[in-house]
């Protein structure tokens, strides 16, 4: 029985991979940017153009090109970036750690703080604490990330404001220089994340908190905060972990495209943004396909692990 479930999940994952790679192939490769005219010289003859097209593989039939694309994904070999003239894999190994360092503190703080705020809001449900937290959350989710970035830059990085941190860039050699460059990006992402996260966590924690065992524990005289932190938190952990794991691939691979290009931080996000604007296809291809494949992979693995841990879980 379980074997059949795993097989079904596995096949489901394979079909998803097929769909995702097909969509990205059609959008980015088949109809993607055409490099022919960037590579031919001046006044090209029709033969020159045909030669270049042949070299780039544009004259191959649809499915051959799709299979080539699949081979690139499976071997994780996307060739050379046309803009940097460097192997895509080496660009990635250079930029991925930077993205990780930039987005990790924001990710951790954004989630920990919003879980704490959500607990506080549920604990004082309907009281002024709850209202203040929720108004703050609505503000956080209403303000665009770009506005927050600009505002924090004005406040913390310019001579108009406090001028505590560098305006942009990434010149990290020690822990103190890391703190110098990471603080403002982190503050901005945390501010925006607090809005959505707090609302989400508040709704699941409130659901759990209104269950009967909480009332029973309360009646037995267990300290309210102990109920909240020990029992309610433990029971909501599954939902919270799932959410965290699902956002992980986007965090680690796409990084924060907007934040990095705004602060001119040489992470994966900025590299991808530049690749998008210059039409550097190998990088964009690598980015999108790796993110999606890892996402689908995690999707399937989580389902199977949850099923192993808790047999009541089934395909949603």
Partner 1 sequence: MTEVNDHKSQSHWAQSFARFRRDKLGLASFAVVMIYFIIAILVQLEIVGSGWDDFVDPMGFSPPSKEYWFGTNFNGQDVFTRAIYSTKVAFQVGITVSFISVFIGAIIGSAAGYFSGSALDEFILWLNGCIDAIPYLLFVAAISFILPDSNTSMYIALIATGWVATCKYMRAQAIQYKNYVFVEAARAMGSYDLRIILRHILPNTAPLILIEITINFVGAIKAEAMLSFLGIGIKNGISWGIMLAEATSEIIAGHTNNFLSASLFMFVLVIAFNMFSDALQDALDPNFQK
- Angle at which helix 145-152 crosses helix 175-209, to 10 degrees, equals 140
Q: How many CB atoms lie within 10 A of CB 221?
A: 6
Contact 169, 264 (CB under 8 A): yes
Q: Hey, is 236 helix, strand or coil? A: helix
Task: Check binding of 292 to partner 1 (CB under 8 A).
Answer: yes
Stretch of residues binding partner 1 (CB under 8 A), selected from 47-55, 60-68, 140-148, 306-314: 140-148
Overall residue count recorded for the chain in this entry: 316
* Binding residues for partner 1 restricted to 167-186, rule: CB under 8 A: 167
Q: Check residue 166 for interaction with partner 1 (CB under 8 A).
A: no
d(CA 48, CA 313) in angstroms, rounded, equals 59
Closest CA to 118 of 199, 187, 189, 190: 199
Binding mask 88-117 for partner 1 (x = CB under 8 A): ------------------------------
Q: Which is nearer to partner 1, 13 or 110 (CB)?
A: 13
Q: Which stretches of 57-162 are DSSP H helices?
A: 62-74, 88-123, 128-142, 145-152
CA distance 4 to 242: 23
Under rule CB under 8 A, residue 261 binds partner 1? yes
Comparing CB distances to partner 1, the nearer of 227 and 284 is: 284
Among 45, 68, 158, 210, binds partner 1 (CB under 8 A): 158
Q: Would you say 146 or 237 has its CB closer to partner 1? A: 146
Please select the residue that binds partner 1; options are 16, 101, 132, 245, rule is CB under 8 A. Answer: 16
Choose which of 43, 75, 85, 159 interacts with partner 1 (CB under 8 A): 159
Q: Does 138 contact partner 1 by CB under 8 A?
A: yes
Strands (E), the chain: none
How many Å apart are CA 155 and CA 161, to the nearest integer? Answer: 4
Q: Per-residue DSSP letters for 4-19?
A: HHHHHHHHHHHHHHHH
Q: Which of 160, 173, 212, 221 binds partner 1 (CB under 8 A)?
A: 160
254 binds partner 1 (CB under 8 A): yes
Q: Does residue 284 bind partner 1 (CB under 8 A)?
A: yes
* Contact set with partner 1 (CB under 8 A): 15-16, 19-20, 23-24, 27-28, 31-33, 138-139, 141-147, 150-151, 153-154, 158-160, 167, 199, 203, 250, 254, 257-258, 261-262, 272-273, 276-277, 279, 284, 287-288, 291-292, 295-296, 299
């Amino acid at each position: 029985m379980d074997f059949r479930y795993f097989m079904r999940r596995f096949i489901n994952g394979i079909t998803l991979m097929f769909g995702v790679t097909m969509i990205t192939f059609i959008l980015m490769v088949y109809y993607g940017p055409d490099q022919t005219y960037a590579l031919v010289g001046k006044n090209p003859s029709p033969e020159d153009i045909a030669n270049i097209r042949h070299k780039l593989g544009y004259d191959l039939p649809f499915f051959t090109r799709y299979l080539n694309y699949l081979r690139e994904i499976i071997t994780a070999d996307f060739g050379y970036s046309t803009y940097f003239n460097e192997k895509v894999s080496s660009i990635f190994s250079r930029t991925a750690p930077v993205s990780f360092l930039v987005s990790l503190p924001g990710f951790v703080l954004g989630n920990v703080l919003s879980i704490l705020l959500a607990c506080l809001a549920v604990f004082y449900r309907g009281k002024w604490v709850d209202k203040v937290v929720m108004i703050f959350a609505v503000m956080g989710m209403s303000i665009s990330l770009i506005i927050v970035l600009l505002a924090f830059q004005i406040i913390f990085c310019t001579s108009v404001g406090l001028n505590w941190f560098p305006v942009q860039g990434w010149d990290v050699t020690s822990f103190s220089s890391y703190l110098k460059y990471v603080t403002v990006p982190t503050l901005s992402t945390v501010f925006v994340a607090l809005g959505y996260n707090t609302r989400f966590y508040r709704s699941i924690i409130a659901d759990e908190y209104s269950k009967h065992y909480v009332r029973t524990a309360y009646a037995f005289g267990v300290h309210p905060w102990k109920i909240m932190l020990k029992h309610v938190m433990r029971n909501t952990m599954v939902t919270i972990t799932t959410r965290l794991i699902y956002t992980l691939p986007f965090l680690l691979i796409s990084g924060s495209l907007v934040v990095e290009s705004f602060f001119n931080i040489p992470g994966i996000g900025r590299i991808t943004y530049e690749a998008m604007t210059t039409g550097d296809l190998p990088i964009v291809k690598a980015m999108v396909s790796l993110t999606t494949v890892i996402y689908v992979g995690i999707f399937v693995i989580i389902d199977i692990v949850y099923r192993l841990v808790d047999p009541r879980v089934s395909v949603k």
